[in-house]
Amino acid sequence: MASQEGLYSLYVLCIIIGCVVAVFIGYSLDYIATNGFRDFETTQEMSVEQKRYMREVRDRNTMRLLEQAKWGGR
């Protein structure tokens, strides 16, 4: 009985180690695919039109949330 408990603990340990290895492999593949995360510095500034549109979308969504809060979501 005691040996089975040790065996179950070993299974759990192997699963945890396997998960950690899988995370490291995924991270390294993403790092290689994105050139070491250096592409973040090349993001461009949004245009004035895009900023205006995003502001309108935020305002519309805020108004909808306020209306739902006022009328109880009906």
DSSP per position, 5-53: HHHHHHHHHHHHHHHHHHHHHHHHHHHHHTTTTGGGGGPPPPPHHHHHH
- Answer yes or no: do 32 and 53 share one domain: no
- Answer yes or no: do 2 and 23 share one domain: yes
The residue range of the domain holding 13 is 1-42
- Answer yes or no: do 37 and 62 share one domain: no
Please report which confidence band the pLDDT of residue 66 belongs to, taking 50, 70 and 90 as the band edges. very high
- Answer yes or no: do 22 and 58 share one domain: no
- Answer yes or no: do 37 and 48 share one domain: no
- Answer yes or no: do 1 and 37 share one domain: yes
What's the average model confidence in pLDDT over 49-63?
96
- Answer yes or no: do 33 and 61 share one domain: no
Please report which confidence band the pLDDT of residue 74 belongs to, taking 50, 70 and 90 as the band edges. low
Higher pLDDT, 10 or 1: 10
Q: Using one digit for the tens of pLDDT, what is the confidence trace for 3-46?
A: 788 899 999 999 999 999 999 999 999 888 887 766 566 667 88
